[in-house]
Structure 1
Amino acid sequence: MKILLVEDEPALLRAMREFLDKEGYLITTAANFATASQLLNDYDYDCVVVDIGLPDGNGLNLVKQVKATENRALLPDRKELGTSMPGTSMPGLIIISANDSLDDKLVGLELGSDDYITKPFHLPELNARIKSVLRRRFFGGNKLIRLGDLSIDPHVHRVSVQEQTLDLTEKEYQLLLFFMANPNRLLTKAAIAESVWGDHMDMVDSHDFLYTHIKNLRRKLMDGGCPDYLKTRYGAGYIFTTTA
């Protein structure tokens, strides 16, 4: 899952990135308002953690920017899924601030943020908040993700087919998580690549490398007794569905 961290304190930003990297997240960072705003304009993320007090702007305006993107994404003429999990380009939002003011907290929540954490905080607490926001936004608050004969326990990265554990690589796991978060949706190669490999994938000439990873994932699922839920739409992308 893709996380954007927006924080102007270099030591804290580095510590958050290193900790969340080890937790298996795909991390992008921004140290100021301008960079964060450009990233939010160019890419989709599954969760944005944003400091209110940035040197060149108010982090709450980034929350407003995300909400404006959500409103555009929900228009009925939207036909194609972007790179974020829910298909609406609306990430989870967590505000961090040195100010424990109730007014700041209420403003942030009213704008649409999902949570609020005050400095100083422990990194495991931030990780727990991120996990909670992602579960609520993309999996109905469930700790165990189920689709047909498949289940994922994201806390320990365990994938099972009818209670039998499968041995997947980390990229195969991230691919499956992305597919299960977006059932019955057409997922383009570009959307898959950016979600699982990172923003820099928009610079590559071809996404054909995905074929091998998806082929291996499909084989492992079917060898484990799972029906073939992964459907290829040639020239367009893939659809993950339990419907024949």
Structure 2
Amino acid sequence: MKILAVEDNKELAASMLEFLSQDNNICEHAENYEQAVDKLSQYTYDCILLDIMLPDGNGLEILKFIRTKNISSGVLIISAKDSLDDKIVGLERGADDYITKPFHLSELQARLRAIYRRKQLNGDHVITFNEIALNTDTLEATVNSKFLDITRKEFELLLYFLVNKNRVLSRQAIAEHLWGDYTDNLANLDFVYQHVKNLRRKISSLNGVDYIDTVYGLGYRFKSTAI
């Protein structure tokens, strides 16, 4: 998952990002309203951790911005123990869930995974498309019921393609999703081509169909029919 944590408590933010990164999630941080809106205007995220109390605004206003701009990210509200009204308003405005401070990081991770499954995988941890199957819990992939020997990044790339079937994904969008927004500073995105090439080769080695179409000048598209 690509996660944005909007949290002004630097110590808590660091703990959350360190813990979630151990699961190979791409984690980014915004410590106030201005930074959050700036990131949300430029980049896409699977899930957003949204603190209600911010030094320069209210997290509920960020939630309003998210829904007004039709941003499809899942939203997990982080609320204070006694802020029942904020939880209710947040859920009414489209948040997917909330968690109350203090909380265990393992619970935070479980709630994020649940939101991701509901939003992206129709509530299931296994996503299947024809001969391809991905298990997001075990991070295993199969093609024609045979184990697909791929790296974690290749697994995330294949999942990203499957979730976005028939949509053209630019190399920049793929890079940001898998490596975070620091890719803005890279001279080129040739490593995306290499990952796509390796993924196609490994799927073909198990007699899988090549669904990945190169859209010249734009990026790639995972087609729902064979190429």
- Find the partner of 2:131 among 137, 145, 149: 149
Question: 1:165 & 1:14 partners in 2: Cα distance?
Answer: 36
> 1 CA distance for matches of 2:201 and 2:28?
31
Question: What is the 5 A alignment of 1:193-204?
Answer: 193-204=175-186
CA shift, 1:200, in A, is: 1.8
Match of 1:29 in 2: 29
Counterpart of 1:191 in 2: which secondary structure? helix
**TM-superposition CA deviations, 1:175-231 (whole Å, max 9, x none):** 111111101111111111111111122333322221111111100111122111111
Is 1:161 aligned with 2:140? no
The 10-residue stretch of structure 1 (203-212 or 157-166) with the greater mean CA deviation from structure 2: 203-212
Instruction: Supply the AA of the counterpart residue of 2:5.
Output: L
**SS at structure 2 position matched to 1:48:** strand
One of 140, 145, 153 as aligned partner of 2:122: 140
Q: Is the 8 A contact 1:16 1:123 kept in 2?
A: yes
Report the Cα offset of residue 24 of structure 1: 1.4
Show the counterpart of 1:61. 61
Q: Distance in 2 between matches of 1:149 and 1:69?
A: 36
TM-score (normalised: structure 2): 0.95
Structure 1 residue 99 corresponds to structure 2 residue 81: yes
Aligned length: 226
RMSD of the alignment, in Å? 1.3
Report the TM-score, using the length of structure 1 for normalisation.
Answer: 0.89
| Aligned equivalent of 1:222, options 201, 204, 227 | 204
Deviating more after overlay: 169-178 vs 204-213: 204-213
The separation in 2 between residues aligned to 1:199 and 1:148, in whole angstroms, is 32
Q: What is the CA-CA distance between 1:121 and the residue it aligns to?
A: 0.6
- Give, in whole Å, the separation in 2 of the partners of 1:99 and 1:132: 22
Indicate if the aligned counterparts of 1:148 and 1:242 stay in contact, CA closer than 8 A: no
Distance 1:100 1:131 in 2: 25
Q: Distance in 1 between matches of 2:14 and 2:132?
A: 36
User: What residue is the counterpart of 2:96 in the other structure?
Assistant: 114
Residue type of the partner of 1:228?
A: D
**What percentage of aligned pairs have identical amino acids?**
47
- Aligned residue for 1:227, secondary structure, equals coil
Question: What does 1:67-86 correspond to in 2, within 5 Å?
Answer: 67-70=67-70
Task: For 2:183, give the aligned amino acid.
Answer: M
Note the residue ranges of structure 2 that are not aligned, 5 or more in a row.
none
2:111 corresponds to which residue?
A: 129
**CA deviation vs aligned residue, 1:84-103 (integer Å, no higher than 9, x gap):** xxxxx410000001134332
Name the residue aligned to 1:85.
none
What amino acid is the match of 2:61? N
CA 1:100/1:226 → structure 2, altered by over 3 Å: closer, same or farther?
A: farther
Task: Give structure 1 stretches of 5+ with no counterpart.
Answer: 71-88
One-letter identity of the residue aligned with 1:19: F
- Indicate the residue corresponding to 1:50 in structure 2: 50
**CA distance in 2 between partners of 1:66 and 1:219 (Å):** 38
User: Alpha-carbon deviations, 1:115-134, whole Å to 9, x = none?
Assistant: 01000110110101100111
